[in-house]
Amino acid sequence: MSNQSHQNRRQFLGAAAGTLAVAGASQVPFIPARAQSSAGSGAMNVFGELKRINTGVLSTSYVDVGPENGYPVILLHGWPYDIYSYIDVAPELVRAGYRVIIPYLRGYGGTKFLSDSTQRNGQPAALALDIIALMDALRIPTALIGGYDWGGRTADIIAVMWPERCKGLVAVSGYLIGSQEGSRMPLPPRAELQWWYQFYFTTERGRAGYAQNRYEFNKLIWQLASPQWNFDEATYARSAAAFDNLDHVAVVIHNYRWRLALVDGERQYDALERQLAAAPVIRVPSISMEGDANGAPHPDPAAYANKFVGKYEHRLVRGGIGHNLPQEAPQAFARAILDVAKM
């Protein structure tokens, strides 16, 4: 991105700121969600002033809206997205009386490492423990937790490793817990092709290319992952500001290289990663979701249905809904949160 385009984007942002049934799952109706979404409409809604709190190795920047005594809902974003995936979900939940907390993950937005010497680690165990540390710092013993992509994997991990902290789970693309050993197994060629960016990130050229071109790179990912989502430039630019975090590139590159066992994680996470490598089941009440036009790599719902052994539903959201389901179909996602609370 040129200096001029970068400057134009900052000026623009400154102005903007003034059902599918599967084995073991309950049958649920298809949801015509495209008509529900206001994303990409040109409306530049923004969250108010964000809060900040120290959480383990981080100073976490987060949204905290709704009544302070409302039951907490923690919503987790993915890559390459940010807290604005939930800009239209949060009001729905607040109206229902919930307290909604949406943190920037490490390497995004205003979330910072407290020490320059801390490894810029993107491995799944570290991301999950970040959220446990956030819950501890906010004195939240248990919450409803929802997410997609990196956020969905993080929510899954919390649900299996700390079920007492997770009253209910909403996970786009279902069960996303993996392991380095599992990532060693080759996939069919068409499936491997979908992971082109992961292979690109294993190279120094890829790291440098992502650092230099992250604005255009991540916009391409949005387009490929949600081919029928007609988001506008304002919607994308609002989220792209989160990628200017000084640690963003390091965390993203480490995440994808760690998955292929090309880089080490940190030893304090070894025991947790070993437990996750066994693919433990999820026992908390859960709703998994999938958009009918998800262009990103994702598992077939039938492949993970047996990983949910508690109360469970899977919902296919129709209407050209892609990978960023909460932002593309906010009412469907909010409804899943409300419904899992009753399971």
Bridge partners, residue 312, by sequence: 286
Whether 127 contacts 152, CB under 8 Å: no
Cα–Cα dist 192/158, whole Å: 28
Q: Is 330 left (phi over 0), alpha (psi -120 to 50) or beta?
A: alpha
The predicted structure's pLDDT at residue 184:
82
Q: How far apart are the first and last CA of the chain?
A: 47
pLDDT tens per residue across span 163-212: 999 999 999 999 999 987 888 888 899 889 999 999 999 999 999 999 99
Over residues 24-33, the mean pLDDT reads 36
pLDDT tens per residue across span 132-163: 999 999 999 999 999 999 999 999 999 999 99
Tokens matching residue 105: 């993950």
Residue position matching structure tokens 């304090």: 268
pLDDT tens per residue across span 276-313: 999 999 999 999 999 999 999 999 999 999 999 999 99
Over residues 119-125, the mean pLDDT reads 97
**What DSSP assignment string belongs to 129-193?**
HHHHHHHHHTT-S-EEEEE-THHHHHHHHHHHH-GGGEEEEEEETS-----HHHHTS---HHHHH
Cα–Cα dist 56/114, whole Å: 9
Question: What's the length of the chain?
Answer: 343
Over residues 70-86, the mean pLDDT reads 98
Whether 317 contacts 332, CB under 8 Å: yes
pLDDT tens per residue across span 1-10: 434 444 443 3
pTM: 0.87
Greatest Cα pair distance, the chain, in angstroms, is 54
